[in-house]
Amino acid sequence: MGWLEGKVALVTGGASGLGLGIVQRFLAEGAEVGVLDASATKLGELSELVGDRVTCVRGDVRSLEDNRRAVETLVGRRGRLDIFIGNAGIWDGSTSLVDLPEDSLDAAFDEVMGVNVKGYLLGARAATPHLVRSRGTMIFTVSNAGFYVGGGGPLYTLSKHAVVGLVRQLAHELAPVVRVNGVAPGAVPSDLRGPKSLGLADKSIREFDMKSVAEQIMPLPMVPTPADQAGSYVYLASAANSPAATGIVINSDCGIGVRGLWAVRGGADLVERFGSLPGA
């Protein structure tokens, strides 16, 4: 029996990348899942992959009407909503302040904040009545950029810091009925793209050489897959396993916050000194 047996979850941006990894893991844990995504093509591919256990709704997370339609469609089909996961997002391509074109700055700000922050707020508003009834939970995808610099440019970093504030405020407002938490992954090879206003709609984050960067600076020199990150969402979604967790963000970022001021030792000397168990 899975950790989420009998639960119903809605995942925004769940048709690809990290969202898809969350959807697949939730299904494996016994949940029924709904997905709100802007791409009809990706939703079609998702339906072919997982079948009718996923309720697919095409829409824009920046629209309250689309968020409500996704919630009501899922509730109409499954009878309840236990988990809302705000996950849809865009990245600014690490475009620095001085490289942001002045004639695109307003539009880029509105686009990044609209998807990454407003989209979460509207999804939360649409989901709240049903989560109150089920004594459910919300989980928001943050990012290492919600805590540290360098994970994006000022637009992305600003948006993800705002999400941390949203997690904490909603955890306060909705307590003790609905738990609200977040997960802050580091770099994930996904289809995360940039704003159209900066000409980055066709540029995916997976085009960047994340592996070489991770090997140089990360305490855990790896680039986790979406499947690697999904367990944190399962933990927070499970009332049986995280009943006391609200207002927290799990930093699942390979140790960005403990990089320190010198190079990571690599661990070879530790293995040489203490050895390792077979298969470890």
**Active-site residue list:** 156
Residues 6+ apart with CB under 8 A from 81: 8, 9, 10, 71, 74, 75, 127, 130, 131, 134, 136
Q: What are phi and psi of 103, to 5 degrees?
A: -80, -5
Q: Distance between CA 222 and CA 230 in Å, rounded?
A: 16
Name residue 139's beta-bridge partners: 85, 181
- Residue 148: strand, helix, or coil: coil
Burial class (CB in 10 A: 0-12, 13-18, 19+), 256: buried
Kind and range of the H or E run holding 101: none
Which DSSP string corresponds to 194-259?
Answer: --GGGT-TT-BGGGS-HHHHHHHH-SS-----HHHHHHHHHHHH-TTT-TT--S-EEEESTTGGG-
Nearest Cα to 185, choosing from 62, 19, 7, 27? 19
Indicate left, alpha or beta for 92 from its phi (over 0: left) and psi (-120 to 50: alpha): alpha
Cα–Cα distances in angstroms (integers) from residue 31 to residues 41, 81, 214, in the given order: 24, 11, 33
Name residue 56's beta-bridge partners: 35
Nearest Cα to 220, choosing from 177, 185, 246? 185
Residues 6+ apart with CB under 8 A from 258: 219
